[in-house]
Amino acid sequence: MTKNDPSRLDGKLAIVTGGGSGIGAATAHIFAQAGATVLVTGRRLEPLKTVADAIGGHAITCDVSQQDQVDAMFDEALRITGRVDVVLNNAGGPGPIAAVADVDMAEWVACMNVNLVGAMHVLQAAAKIMGAQKSGSIINMSSLMGIQGYPMRSAYVASKFALIGITETMARELGPLGVRVNALMPGAVSGENMDRILAKRAAAEGLPVEEIERQNYTDVAALKRWVTPEEVGRAALYYACDLSSAITGDKMKVDCGRF
């Protein structure tokens, strides 16, 4: 490490929501390796503690769909260093997998309450703290499905499209205060979450998992493979650190070339 290395996060406090597994856990590790003090949050304490213990960070349970829990989580973050420098707004779920005509609306609304309303709870708290500090980087976890519709995934698509618009809105609102807001758009990321989605799609469409995987995820990517959680985490680090100090209101695909 060289002094004033713009790729480092030394002395900074980073919050990672949905930090117990997948992209969140991978990013927490990468942020910690870059020097950040990391607070991982999510609904289940055991996996959060596993991540936090491995990186010398902090863990706190938080259901982002509950405003009071989000406020308490940010209060805890401020007690650690007195600042919040980076927020990876990553908590979310895949939502129901069904055609619009058939989707269970209770499940549809539940997805929006986490992926969109929950994301807004985090963004409101982060905006107030970082705006007062006049510094900070917010990274919203959208998706490749935040810029293109996808069959059977209307709730998830709607939530991730909305996050792109909110990202651009907040970048304009907070830019004069020195706060940057950007969005990541991963493609299909390998891991347990994608395994569950493949199984649900196979059941809904009556096709083998391998055929759905090949036709919809790997063969259509220029690199002919899945994205790894660590690859998304490295993109998050770019937005978090000063390598991207002049970038805000941006959206970055991390998708192995699915265009």
- pLDDT one-digit tens code per residue, 232-244: 999 999 999 999 9
**Model pLDDT, residue 215:** 80
**Model pLDDT, residue 200:** 81
Question: Of 20, 27, 138, whose CA–CA distance to 74 is shortest?
Answer: 138
Higher pLDDT, 237 or 190: 237
Q: What is the mean pLDDT of residues 180-193?
A: 90
**By the 8 A CB rule, do 138 and 182 touch?**
yes
pLDDT reading at 258 higher than 70: yes
Active site residues: 156
- The pTM (predicted TM-score) of the whole model is 0.92
What kind of architecture, by CATH, is found in domain 13-189+228-254? 3-Layer(aba) Sandwich (3.40)
Q: Residue 256: which region, alpha, beta or left (left: phi > 0; alpha: psi -120 to 50)?
A: left
Per-residue pLDDT band for 2 (boundaries 50, 70, 90) equals: low
Give the integer Cα–Cα distance in Å for 211 and 144.
Answer: 21
Domain ranges across the chain: 13-189+228-254
Give the integer Cα–Cα distance in Å for 241 and 221.
Answer: 28
Q: Residue 224: which region, alpha, beta or left (left: phi > 0; alpha: psi -120 to 50)?
A: left
